[in-house]
Structure 1
Amino acid sequence: MPARRAPERATMHDVARRAEVSIKTVSRVVNGEPGVSEALATRVRTAVQELGYRHNLAASNLRRGQRTASIGVLVDDLGNAFCSEVLRAIEDRARGRGIVLLASSTDEDVDRERELIDGLLSRRIDGMIVMPTGRDQRHLTVEHADGVPVVTVDRRPADPGIDGVVVDNAGGARTAVAHLLAHGHRRIGILGDASDIVTALERRDGYRRALADAGLPHDPALERLGARTREEASAHATELLALADPPTAFFAARNVLCTGVVDALRRQGRSHEVGLVGFDDVPLAELLDPPVTVIRQDTRAIGEQAMDLLLARLDGDQGPGRVVDLPTELVVRGSGEIPAPAVDRG
């Protein structure tokens, strides 16, 4: 399901314009400070209600030098191994500074993400590390502009003033598919995440580039984007294997999708016949039969770099936004080295 578009949040400037008062007057009213007549306060409160303005207590705390020694972390799914490993790396780094984490899953739902951000800010967190949902990141820009440090992980920030940590998704996918091509495969299926997720498109693009490098066109019949669960991935893989001209190998562009392909191949007794390379490591991958070859992301480096960027902002860094690009690594284990049938190589 495509991520829903988030509405823009009203700012203190909007309230000031609606009430025809200064921003300082609005600030005094929402912070409960004296020095404002009842008539002006009523105008401000009316504008606040009409615009649905939510006062950012976290930003107010930071501007006043007050800290809570807590940060918010939002990821796609805390139950996913990639997300949990990144979170643990953030937590370990934060612990050294006496900072506690408030973490939750967005489930790739932009409305849920907005609700969670509102909840975190109401608890006066000092900053946020977010795996953004969808392409519309205007709500993160608003919080950043209000003074709350924001760092994105896994997806590149849309606002050049916001810090981020990303990996070379296209390059990693290109390496994965080139590895399968080197073992003779020419019919390679891809299973990817929802098409409105930037990383899914980057990995699909890397898949297509690898085919182009080998002088091969991409076949839309072999591309399946939109799978979110293990079960959906297994169903897509089964459909592809039933084609008149089926793939002899798969590139699974996310760890949970890779496990779905493993299920489909095992049910058909073809685990040692069809090649497979996954993106993101798979729990116990080396114990499967055959062990699964993957493109590994350095989850510890991702989490540590994200926390270091956030700490720098909390320590007063006012420099321009910085995006850290990390490489991926091909981990050869067995499934990606299964040769294509002789007829396919020919």
Structure 2
Amino acid sequence: MKVVISDIARQAGVSSGTVSNAINNRKGISEQKRQAILKIARDMGYFDQREIKKTENQKIKFVIMNKQGNVVGDTPFFSELIRGIEMECSTLGYELVISHTTLALNEEPMDTIRPEMADGLLLLGTELEKADLDAFRDIGVPLVILDTVFNAQDFDFVAINNRDSAYQIVEKMIAKGHRDIGIINSTFQINNFRERKQGFLQAIQDHDLIHYEETEALVEPTLEGSYQDMKIYLESMVADNRPLPSAFFAVNDNIAIGAMKAIKEIQSSNQVTIVGFDDIPLAEFCSPPLTTVKVDKVYLGRQAVRRLIEKITTEDTNHIKMLLGTTIVERESIQIKKD
């Protein structure tokens, strides 16, 4: 019979968390107690079965879930994310299997995902909503959801700290003297974009500024789509004789770069500050180069794999939400506000 952490915990008279700390050499436990727990684990054959498992063909399945295909795609962001996942799987001795699937009406995603064929499942949650998570309860293998996080949900999440990151870059615009700051948002909403808008609004509120609904432009989240939609938005502002904000926060770089082109055409005599989010390669080479939030996509992928393997190897039934910090890359698109 397979020995699990709870079996060792019962034998040792401690909690499963204490056993996990002892096995993984974490802090919070005395050396005497650690050695006592490790002896019980050895006597029960726990480490023997782990060695046997290491010799088997261990697999992690990475499921790329597309609902609409409006955000997830063949982009530098997701390419780097996958590279990080591949690197960590290779380092830790796991085979990576990548699966693409969709969530459609009257379709059971587990029929195509087949989680039982892997030791654990990584799920790209970028386009998922909270209700979509119901399909992934009780799937029978460890699961980590990547690139989104929802409140009050018993899953493991590894994601970007979208809210704080947006707050920080908006605060940088405020420090440059901007008081009238708009937001360029996506017509197709995902949880990450909602979190970034919340960070934007919190920064505005904390600095005693006001956000006006008419200074939120809604655009398609592609380079061409954001360019066309931003032109329409700007032309309507001009037609209605409404002043343009001196700065805009865009919820991702594709949107920022497309919108920047439209702003240059409509407002060529007066440069408007614009910042983005993600730091895709094109951000450095557009005109002007884009100030943006840098996300370490490779690290994000690697951390998700590490958490999943921790769940696989220790039978850890706890749930964590890991939010990765970001850095701001300042380039020429952010300007000091002149009176």
Fold match by TM threshold 0.5:
yes
Q: Pick one of 44, 51, 62 that aligns with 1:72.
A: 62
Aligned pair 1:101/2:101, yes or no?
no
Q: Secondary structure at the match of 2:256?
A: helix
Match of 1:229 in 2: 222
Match of 1:340 in 2: 337
Q: Secondary structure at the match of 2:157?
A: strand
Take 1:287 and 1:187, find their aligned partners in 2: how far apart are those partners? 27
Cα pair distance change 1:225/1:129, threshold 3 Å: farther
Letter in 2 for 1:135: K
Aligned pair 1:88/2:86, yes or no?
no
Aligned pair 1:176/2:146, yes or no?
no
Match of 1:284 in 2: 282
Match of 1:187 in 2: 180
Q: Give 1:269 deviation, angstroms.
A: 6.7
Percent identity (aligned): 28
Take 2:99 and 2:282, find their aligned partners in 1: how far apart are those partners? 25
Take 2:245 and 2:268, find their aligned partners in 1: how far apart are those partners? 12
Take 1:204 and 1:262, find their aligned partners in 2: how far apart are those partners? 19
Cα pair distance change 1:123/1:77, threshold 3 Å: farther
Cα pair distance change 1:129/1:255, threshold 3 Å: farther
Per-residue Cα deviation, 1:112-144 (whole angstroms, up to 9, x for no partner): 9x66653221782332212221221333542xx
Q: Secondary structure at the match of 2:224?
A: helix
Q: Give 1:189 deviation, angstroms.
A: 2.0
Q: Report matched runs for 1:233-312 at 5 Å.
A: 233-242=226-235, 243=237, 244-268=242-266, 270=268, 273-312=271-310
Q: Report matched runs for 1:326-337 at 5 Å.
A: 326-336=324-334
Asked whether the equivalents of residues 156 and 166 of structure 1 are also in contact (C-alpha less than 8 Å), the reply is yes
Q: Which runs of 5+ in 1 are unaligned?
A: 1-64
Per-residue Cα deviation, 1:127-164 (whole angstroms, up to 9, x for no partner): 2212221221333542xx23121111121156644211
Q: Give 1:96 deviation, angstroms.
A: 2.0
Q: Give 1:196 deviation, angstroms.
A: 4.5
Take 2:317 and 2:116, find their aligned partners in 1: how far apart are those partners? 27
Take 1:323 and 1:125, find their aligned partners in 2: how far apart are those partners? 23
Q: Give 1:227 deviation, angstroms.
A: 2.9
Q: Give 1:68 deviation, angstroms.
A: 5.4
Taking only aligned residues, the RMSD between alpha carbons, in angstroms, comes to 2.8
Cα pair distance change 1:104/1:235, threshold 3 Å: farther
Asked whether the equivalents of residues 130 and 150 of structure 2 are also in contact (C-alpha less than 8 Å), the reply is no
Asked whether the equivalents of residues 147 and 160 of structure 2 are also in contact (C-alpha less than 8 Å), the reply is yes
Q: Which runs of 5+ in 2 are unaligned?
A: 1-52, 66-70
Number of aligned residue pairs: 273
Match of 2:206 in 1: 213
Take 2:193 and 2:203, find their aligned partners in 1: how far apart are those partners? 16
Asked whether the equivalents of residues 137 and 158 of structure 1 are also in contact (C-alpha less than 8 Å), the reply is no
Asked whether the equivalents of residues 183 and 249 of structure 2 are also in contact (C-alpha less than 8 Å), the reply is yes
Take 1:279 and 1:206, find their aligned partners in 2: how far apart are those partners? 12
Q: Give 1:330 deviation, angstroms.
A: 1.0
Take 2:330 and 2:110, find their aligned partners in 1: how far apart are those partners? 39
Range with greater deviation from structure 2 (117-126 or 149-158): 117-126
Match of 1:110 in 2: 103
Per-residue Cα deviation, 1:262-300 (whole angstroms, up to 9, x for no partner): 332344473971111101112232233321110112212
Letter in 2 for 1:69: K
Asked whether the equivalents of residues 240 and 247 of structure 1 are also in contact (C-alpha less than 8 Å), the reply is no
Asked whether the equivalents of residues 77 and 83 of structure 1 are also in contact (C-alpha less than 8 Å), the reply is yes
Range with greater deviation from structure 2 (79-88 or 125-134): 125-134
TM-score by length of structure 2 reads 0.71
Q: Secondary structure at the match of 1:166?
A: strand
Asked whether the equivalents of residues 60 and 121 of structure 2 are also in contact (C-alpha less than 8 Å), the reply is no
Q: Give 1:110 deviation, angstroms.
A: 3.4
Cα pair distance change 1:122/1:199, threshold 3 Å: closer
Take 2:273 and 2:181, find their aligned partners in 1: how far apart are those partners? 9
TM-score by length of structure 1 reads 0.70
Q: Give 1:204 deviation, angstroms.
A: 0.8
Asked whether the equivalents of residues 230 and 259 of structure 2 are also in contact (C-alpha less than 8 Å), the reply is yes
Q: Pick one of 144, 149, 157 that aligns with 1:151.
A: 144
